[in-house]
Amino acid sequence: MYIYATPSQGKQWHQAECPVNSKTCDTNLPANCAGQHEAKAPQKGLATASILLLILSLFTGFAAQAQTSQETSVVYKSISPATNHYKTIGATDAAAKGGNKEGVVFPTKDFRRGVYLKLRNVYLDVPIESFKIKPYPANSSAQTRAELDFLLELQQKRTAKDIARTDTMANMYHDPFIINLTDPDYRRNVKSLFYVGRNLGPWFTPEKLPITSYVLQNVIQDATYYLYTLKVKYNRARPYQLEPALKNLEAPGHASYPSDHSSFSHVHAYLLSYIFPEYKTQFMGNAYDMAFSREIRGVNYPSDSEAGKEFAQQFIEQLMKSKKFQADLEAMKTELARVKSQNT
């Protein structure tokens, strides 16, 4: 059952997914209804060590590609640099130079996501120290100045079409607390989990893949808890708090580092690439665009995007150690294979 569903909401959700008179619904995997019971008893997966080796190989493969930002992008090629701007800017000195900017942080009074720190974990129960995310560049550093200059450059280059695309991507986020089917934001919320994998085809939807939807919701719930715990830990100021010339297109109610859009889109990209390695270039391109859209909007530094990607990699590595997740992953893979074969 959804982790925050009340009994009445749970019953409503269960009836919506399964026929009212069905006696074949699996109450252990609530999305697993009649006609989907081949996923109920998943086959034994690979040993944890073997899975981790596969994941490590997957990450190594991404690193070996060494694409430029322009080559990686799917929809922002015209505005993405013809270099790997993360690598270029990241090589700049991150040490503090001193000055009054050094004490600027995200205002506690504006932090509106404290509820995420109370989430119950589904698959992972590890210390926050398990995620080795380095501190962000100092506010007065040459690197932060280079990042701000890059964002100002993007501000000059962004077109109305670019902005419209970032508007769409800004809404591609999943809130673990939106669980009521009658909530007007419920459909957008669940559908956002399928955005990075849209290249798989029109069959890749929450309606056709209830088990996959259930697993992805659990994964992002866990990722949200850890990611926002890191945000509170670092409490980085947003770029427009340091650079008045930035015309940010929104003002998120939480700290900047690491980027949540980058984190969650890369979690999806890495996980789906494990299942469908033949689509990894598209998935990683979609995740890049999601992260880059936040830079175009002037709300995240490039180093926020990179830290989000780093968090995602470490999160997936931890996730693969969970026996509970591995069992659900096998059910998800079975459902994906069945629905894909029926629609291609």
Q: What is the pLDDT of residues 47-57, one digit of tens each?
A: 555 565 555 55
Give residue 106's identity as a one-letter amino acid code: F
Q: 13-22, 60-69, 268-277: which has the minimum mean pLDDT?
A: 13-22
Question: What pLDDT is stored for residue 183 in this prediction?
Answer: 96
Higher pLDDT, 65 or 187: 187
Domains of the chain by start residue, with CATH: 48-343 (1.20.144.10)
Cβ-count burial of 69 within 10 angstroms (0-12 exposed, 13-18 middle, 19+ buried)?
Answer: buried
Distances from the Cα of 30 to the Cα of 88, 145, 189, 224, angstroms: 47, 49, 18, 22
Q: Indicate if the alpha-carbon torsion angle 129, 138, 141, 85 is positive or negative.
A: positive
pLDDT of res. 113: 85
Mean pLDDT estimate for the chain: 86
Bridge partner list, 105: 236
Higher pLDDT residue, 108 or 223? 223
The answer on pLDDT for 160 being more than 60 is yes
Q: Is residue 341 over pLDDT 80?
A: yes
Question: 197: which DSSP letter?
Answer: T
Instruction: Quote the pLDDT of residue 344.
Output: 86
**Predicted local confidence at residue 42, as pLDDT:** 42
- Statement: residue 231 has pLDDT above 90: yes
Say what the pTM is: 0.84
Identify any residues that bridge with 236 across adjacent strands, giving them in sequence order: 105
Dist CA 267 CA 287 (whole Å): 9
For 257-281, write each residue's pLDDT tens digit: 999 999 999 999 999 999 999 999 9
Q: Is the pLDDT of residue 45 over 90?
A: no
Alpha helix positions (H), the chain = 7-17, 48-65, 69-72, 85-90, 142-157, 160-170, 186-191, 210-234, 239-242, 260-275, 280-296, 302-319, 323-343
Per-position DSSP letters for 115-138, written without gaps between them: GGGGPPPSS----GGGS-PPPPPP
- 34 pLDDT more than 70: no
Q: Which two tokens stand for residue 28?
A: 């252990």
